[in-house]
């Protein structure tokens, strides 16, 4: 057995977000987390899932939607399930229009509160949410350094992990991420 990673974005009942694939309805997310808690498989942190032979289920969120704090966190807390939240730092304190869908993103204070939870680890989803393989090494270095520095300043903890926007990466992107100081 290995670690299964569940990747979420928004946890929201707004019909346009659900239909557009940006959100999972709240009741469905509740079912997922309840299943994890009762499945007998260990809820895994991202850190623990990187060890050889690790097992369990890891929960992650990409982008940094405000409902991760407002809706998902209380459900995670109810069942004691940890999660990693990957935040695009340029989207903090904004309303983001992504593929025609208006999404409310985390505020700086919500991010600080998330990071204060013993169940939550904060990771980077880059500063600018754009495919990384299309960008120059200099641009990547600036973007990833800025994101890591901003997030670490806000949360007061090391930001060790990076989730590539759109999953877009190659050997150059991975090398720059390592140079910036991301562990995985």
Task: Give the separation between CA 26 and CA 11, rounded to whole angstroms.
Answer: 6
Contacting residues for 76 by C-beta, under 8 A, at least 6 apart: 33, 59, 82, 83, 119, 120
Residue 31: band (very low, low, confident or very high) from pLDDT cuts 50, 70, 90 = very high
- Whole-number average pLDDT of the chain: 95
Secondary structure class of 38 (helix, strand, coil): helix
Residue pLDDT, tens place only, 89-131? 999 999 999 989 999 999 999 999 999 999 999 999 999 999 9
Return the closest-CA partner of residue 81 out of 48, 111, 120. 120
Residue 2: band (very low, low, confident or very high) from pLDDT cuts 50, 70, 90 = confident
Residue 152: band (very low, low, confident or very high) from pLDDT cuts 50, 70, 90 = very high
Please report which residue ranges of 2-134 form alpha helices under DSSP H: 15-19, 26-38, 46-49, 67, 73-79, 108-116
- Reply yes or no on whether the pLDDT at 171 is more than 60: yes
In angstroms, the Cα distances linking 100 to 65, 67, 130 are 15, 18, 16
**pLDDT given at position 62:** 97
Plot region of 55 (φ>0 → left; ψ -120 to 50 → alpha; else → beta): beta
**pLDDT given at position 1:** 56
| DSSP assignment letter at 94 | S
Tell me if 129 sits within 8 A of 89, measured CB to CB.
no
Residues of the chain with pLDDT > 70, as a percent, come to: 99
Tell me if 176 sits within 8 A of 156, measured CB to CB.
no
Residue 47: band (very low, low, confident or very high) from pLDDT cuts 50, 70, 90 = confident
Return the closest-CA partner of residue 8 out of 64, 82, 78. 64
Give the pLDDT mean for 146-154.
98
Residue pLDDT, tens place only, 61-77? 999 999 999 999 999 99
**pLDDT given at position 41:** 84
């Amino acid at each position: 057995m290995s670690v299964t990673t569940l990747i979420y974005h928004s946890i929201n009942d707004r019909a346009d977000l659900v239909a557009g694939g940006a959100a999972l309805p709240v009741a469905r997310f509740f079912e997922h987390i309840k299943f994890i808690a009762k499945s007998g498989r260990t809820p895994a942190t991202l850190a623990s899932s990187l060890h050889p032979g690790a097992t369990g289920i890891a929960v992650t969120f990409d982008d940094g939607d405000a409902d991760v704090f407002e809706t998902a966190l209380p459900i995670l807390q109810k069942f004691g399930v940890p999660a990693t939240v990957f935040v695009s730092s340029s989207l903090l304190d904004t309303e983001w229009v992504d593929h025609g869908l208006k999404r409310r993103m985390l505020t700086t204070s919500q991010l600080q509160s998330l990071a204060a939870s013993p169940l939550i680890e904060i990771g980077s989803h880059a500063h600018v949410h754009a495919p990384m393989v299309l960008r120059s090494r200099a641009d990547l270095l600036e973007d990833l350094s800025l994101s890591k520095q901003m997030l670490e300043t806000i949360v007061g903890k090391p930001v060790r992990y990076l989730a590539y926007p759109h999953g877009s990466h190659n050997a150059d992107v991975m090398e720059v991420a390592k140079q910036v100081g991301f562990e995985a």
